[in-house]
Amino acid sequence: MSDIAAAASGKGHGDENFPVASVFIAPRHRAPILAFYDFVRAADDISDHATLSADEKLAMLDRMEAALLGSGEPIAVALRLRDILAERALEPRHAQDLLAAFRRDVTQTRYRDFDDLLDYCRYSAMPVGRYVLDVHGEDRAATYGANDALCAALQIINHLQDCAKDFRTLDRVYLPQDALAAHGASVEMLAAPAASPQLAAVLRELAARTSELLERSASFAERIADIRLAMEVGAIQRLAETLTRRLLVADPLSEKVHAGKGQYIATALAGAGGVLLRRLLRPRSRALAGESA
């Protein structure tokens, strides 16, 4: 077993907070998405590894990029993704952007302000959705903006849910420093068993800003041509909205803020079903509008 394979956390796509290549996605598109996920998962596990040094992590991430580009050793997840990219005539840029985010995780543990955090999301989250859109051949001009807002929201939701764990295990804090200072909070408060009033105010502010991102992504599913992908996006949007409402009132230091299995399935189905219903009614709505005119 290679050192890269040995660094794996054992986490798979079914363990994520949001759907990854779910049953909504057409079967012909699932393998390219899962190949991308497996590559990204391996790189993420390296950047989060508890015992590897920073230099070891950076060297391993460089090796993964070299393998992806065909100039390095034969790393299985990189070769699989490379083959998929060649088959679909896709560029490796989205995977490379994610590697840049994981390198940043190794070297940067604090974020100055919300814009600094969004710049991180530009590399850590937005490329995931962009890749899925490219796999489906969607119109970039019509979809990338809404995608970026949704993916940034998903990333920040994860940061808020895991803020205490990230600090305690990795000394990594994604809560912007200016927001902490404005509310009189400190990173050390993340080590407490419950959020102080000052820290709670920071978390609520970031949840509110996440809600604003989700407002910008609300039309995303309607911009997507592929109905099955639109349903997946509808499911993700609804899950994100539900979790964000929870984060506006819950304390992630002392309460479980992840969706339970039952709530996850019900919320995802409601989101996907809403998209499907709107698509089915759209021709009828247009016909009625024409009759009225």
The pLDDT tens digits of the residues spanning 246-289 come to 999 999 999 988 777 888 789 888 998 999 999 888 764 444 34
End-to-end CA distance of the chain: 68
In order of 49, 120, 176, the CA distances from 116 in angstroms are: 24, 7, 8
pLDDT at 12: 57
Residues 192 and 93 in one domain: no
Kindly provide the b/e burial profile for residues 249-266, where b requires at least 16 CB atoms within 10 angstroms of the residue's own CB. Answer: ebbbbeeebebeeeebee
pLDDT at position 179, please? 98
Report pLDDT for 48: 94
Please indicate, yes or no, whether residues 69 and 156 belong to a single structural domain of this protein.
no
The predicted-structure confidence for 9-56, as pLDDT tens digits, reads as follows: 566 554 455 657 678 899 999 999 999 999 999 999 999 998 999 999
Domain boundary pick from 73, 107, 141: 107
Same domain, 143 and 235: yes
Domain identity same for 124 and 96: no
**Has residue 290 been placed in a domain?**
no
User: Do the domain assignments include residue 159?
Assistant: yes
In a shared domain, residues 11 and 130 = no
Instruction: Look at residues 107, 130, 165 and tell me which one is the last residue of a structural domain.
Output: 107
Question: Is this structure's pTM higher than 0.75?
Answer: yes
Question: Do 159 and 192 fall into the same domain?
Answer: yes
Q: Are residues 127 and 272 in the same domain?
A: yes
Q: Residue 293 corresponds to which tokens in the numbers above?
A: 């005119």
The CATH number of the domain holding residue 268 is: 1.10.600.10
Number of domains in the chain: 2
Which of 107, 133, 166 represents a domain boundary (last residue)? 107
Q: Which domain holds residue 224?
A: 110-281
**Average pLDDT over all residues of the chain:** 91
- Asked whether residue 68 falls in the same domain as residue 139, the answer is no
Distance separating alpha carbons of residues 69 and 72, to the nearest angstrom: 8
Q: How confident is residue 293, by pLDDT bands cut at 50, 70 and 90? A: very low
Percent of the chain with pLDDT over 70: 92
